[in-house]
Amino acid sequence: MFTQPAPFGFGNVGRTLPDVRAPGINNLDLSLFKSFTIHERLKAQFRGEFFKAWNRTEFGVPTTSQGTAQFGVISGVSYESNPARQAQVALKLVF
Protein backbone atom coordinates (compact mmCIF):
# COMPACT_ATOMS: atom_id res chain seq x y z
CA MET A 1 0.00 0.00 0.00
CA PHE A 2 1.30 3.43 -0.94
CA THR A 3 1.02 6.46 1.32
CA GLN A 4 2.16 10.03 0.87
CA PRO A 5 5.25 10.84 3.01
CA ALA A 6 5.23 13.79 5.39
CA PRO A 7 6.07 17.20 3.89
CA PHE A 8 9.83 17.56 3.30
CA GLY A 9 10.32 13.93 4.32
CA PHE A 10 11.55 10.89 2.48
CA GLY A 11 9.45 7.82 1.75
CA ASN A 12 10.61 4.25 2.19
CA VAL A 13 10.20 3.08 -1.43
CA GLY A 14 13.03 2.92 -3.91
CA ARG A 15 13.20 5.26 -6.87
CA THR A 16 12.41 2.49 -9.32
CA LEU A 17 10.09 -0.39 -8.54
CA PRO A 18 10.54 -3.43 -10.78
CA ASP A 19 6.91 -4.55 -10.60
CA VAL A 20 5.18 -1.14 -10.86
CA ARG A 21 5.67 -0.16 -14.47
CA ALA A 22 3.72 0.29 -17.66
CA PRO A 23 3.15 -2.79 -19.83
CA GLY A 24 5.95 -3.56 -22.24
CA ILE A 25 5.90 -3.29 -26.01
CA ASN A 26 4.55 -6.37 -27.73
CA ASN A 27 5.31 -5.89 -31.42
CA LEU A 28 6.18 -8.17 -34.32
CA ASP A 29 7.52 -7.12 -37.72
CA LEU A 30 7.47 -9.70 -40.50
CA SER A 31 9.20 -9.95 -43.88
CA LEU A 32 8.69 -12.55 -46.59
CA PHE A 33 10.98 -12.87 -49.63
CA LYS A 34 10.82 -15.14 -52.65
CA SER A 35 13.45 -15.10 -55.40
CA PHE A 36 12.86 -16.33 -58.96
CA THR A 37 15.36 -16.90 -61.75
CA ILE A 38 13.80 -15.62 -64.96
CA HIS A 39 16.85 -15.95 -67.19
CA GLU A 40 20.51 -16.76 -66.65
CA ARG A 41 21.35 -13.14 -65.77
CA LEU A 42 17.90 -11.87 -64.81
CA LYS A 43 16.41 -12.51 -61.40
CA ALA A 44 13.25 -11.25 -59.73
CA GLN A 45 12.55 -10.96 -56.05
CA PHE A 46 9.05 -10.59 -54.64
CA ARG A 47 8.98 -9.20 -51.11
CA GLY A 48 6.27 -8.47 -48.60
CA GLU A 49 6.97 -6.51 -45.43
CA PHE A 50 4.52 -6.13 -42.57
CA PHE A 51 5.09 -3.74 -39.68
CA LYS A 52 3.14 -4.46 -36.48
CA ALA A 53 1.93 -7.64 -38.15
CA TRP A 54 -0.46 -8.91 -35.44
CA ASN A 55 -1.80 -5.38 -34.70
CA ARG A 56 -1.75 -5.77 -30.92
CA THR A 57 -2.80 -2.89 -28.70
CA GLU A 58 -0.09 -1.08 -26.74
CA PHE A 59 -1.59 0.14 -23.47
CA GLY A 60 -0.67 3.42 -21.79
CA VAL A 61 0.90 4.06 -18.39
CA PRO A 62 -0.91 3.70 -15.06
CA THR A 63 -2.34 6.77 -13.35
CA THR A 64 0.05 8.14 -10.72
CA SER A 65 -2.32 10.41 -8.76
CA GLN A 66 -2.18 9.13 -5.20
CA GLY A 67 -5.32 9.23 -3.10
CA THR A 68 -7.72 8.74 -6.01
CA ALA A 69 -9.70 5.68 -6.99
CA GLN A 70 -7.89 5.64 -10.36
CA PHE A 71 -4.40 5.21 -8.83
CA GLY A 72 -2.53 2.51 -10.73
CA VAL A 73 -5.30 2.03 -13.30
CA ILE A 74 -4.47 1.89 -17.00
CA SER A 75 -7.35 3.59 -18.75
CA GLY A 76 -6.11 4.19 -22.27
CA VAL A 77 -3.73 3.30 -25.03
CA SER A 78 -0.41 4.88 -25.90
CA TYR A 79 -0.97 6.55 -29.26
CA GLU A 80 2.71 7.36 -29.76
CA SER A 81 3.75 3.71 -29.74
CA ASN A 82 0.49 2.39 -31.19
CA PRO A 83 0.52 3.04 -34.94
CA ALA A 84 -1.72 1.10 -37.27
CA ARG A 85 -0.55 -2.02 -39.09
CA GLN A 86 1.44 -1.24 -42.23
CA ALA A 87 2.13 -3.54 -45.18
CA GLN A 88 4.09 -3.08 -48.35
CA VAL A 89 4.88 -5.33 -51.29
CA ALA A 90 7.55 -4.89 -53.93
CA LEU A 91 8.97 -6.59 -56.98
CA LYS A 92 12.71 -6.19 -57.49
CA LEU A 93 14.53 -7.04 -60.72
CA VAL A 94 18.24 -7.82 -60.53
CA PHE A 95 20.21 -7.95 -63.79
**Do 88 and 49 form a contact (C-beta atoms < 8 A)?**
yes
Average pLDDT of the chain is 86
Domain contains 7: no
What single-letter amino acid sits at 60?
G
Range of the domain at 77: 30-94
Q: Are 20 and 66 in contact (CB under 8 A)?
A: no
55 domain residue, yes or no: yes
Answer yes or no: is 57 within a domain.
yes
Cβ-Cβ contacts under 8 Å for 75 (sequence gap 6 or more)? 60, 63
Write the pLDDT tens digit of every residue in 15-46: 777 767 777 778 899 999 999 999 999 999 99
What's the pTM value of the predicted model, to 2 decimals? 0.62
Q: What is the CB neighbour count within 10 angstroms for residue 53? A: 15
**Is 18 domain-assigned?**
no
Domain total in the chain: 1
34 within some domain? yes
d(CA 12, CA 41): 71
